[in-house]
Amino acid sequence: MRTILISSLLLLTSCTSGTFRPGSVPRVSISQLSSEKDVFSRKLKNREELIISVKKGEVIPAQFTFDSGIVLYKSRESMTAQRDFCIYIGKGKFGLSPDCKTFAHFHKGSSLKKLFGFKRGSVSLGLKIDKEGISVPILIKQN
């Protein structure tokens, strides 16, 4: 099984800011990316630019890791897109866009807020004890 690490791209973007327009870049749907993973895995390993188009309602496989130094949480889940958006990967950049034209760098919260119209976010953490046992509900919400 091949794993494509995007984290190295995220490290490379730390010097840049704002938004960008990548120009003429191949666009692929999330379902096409999944069905032709060998082809796109090679393209990404060769550092070719790619725009991934995600439509509202599509399911995106995800691996979530939370490592605080106190606790470690790993989970393989799926995310469901609540709106259409695009992901740009390439040339040392990783960005998100609501229109597949203008992208905000993933690490630039102010640019993401502006492009997507985000307002405020919140994080809540609790402790739940019921018939099923003990759990720690965590909610991260972006409005």
Q: What is the pLDDT of residue 49?
A: 92
Overall average pLDDT of the 134-141 stretch: 80
Q: Per the structure block, which two tokens stand in for 93?
A: 């950049």
Q: Per the structure block, which two tokens stand in for 141?
A: 């919400």
Note down the domain range covering 49.
7-118
Residue 43: CB atoms within 10 A of its CB come to 18
Cα atoms in the Cβ-side hemisphere of radius 13 Å centred on 120: 2
Overall average pLDDT of the 58-67 stretch: 88
Burial bucket for residue 97 (CB in 10 Å: 0-12, 13-18, 19+): buried
Whether 78 maps to a domain, the answer reads: yes
Q: Per the structure block, which two tokens stand in for 101?
A: 């034209």
Whether 135 maps to a domain, the answer reads: no
Whether 51 maps to a domain, the answer reads: yes
- Which of 1 and 28 is assigned the larger pLDDT? 28
Whether 141 maps to a domain, the answer reads: no
**2-6, 11-15, 38-42: segment of lowest average pLDDT:** 11-15
Whether 129 maps to a domain, the answer reads: no
- Please name which of 19, 143, 16, 14 lies closest in space to residue 88, comparing C-alpha atoms: 19
For 39, which DSSP code?
H
Instruction: Write the pLDDT tens digit of every residue in 63-115.
Output: 888 888 898 989 988 889 999 999 999 878 889 999 999 999 988 888 888 99
The total of structural domains in the chain comes to 1
Whether 125 maps to a domain, the answer reads: no
Whether 131 maps to a domain, the answer reads: no
Amino acid sitting at position 50: L
Gap between the Cα atoms of 62 and 60, Å rounded: 6
Burial bucket for residue 133 (CB in 10 Å: 0-12, 13-18, 19+): exposed
Residue 131: CB atoms within 10 A of its CB come to 4
- Which of 96 and 120 is assigned the larger pLDDT? 96
Q: Per the structure block, which two tokens stand in for 43?
A: 């393209």
Whether 39 maps to a domain, the answer reads: yes
Is the pLDDT score of 25 beyond 70?
A: yes
Model's pTM, two decimal places? 0.74
Overall average pLDDT of the 41-59 stretch: 91
Q: What is the pLDDT of residue 17?
A: 58
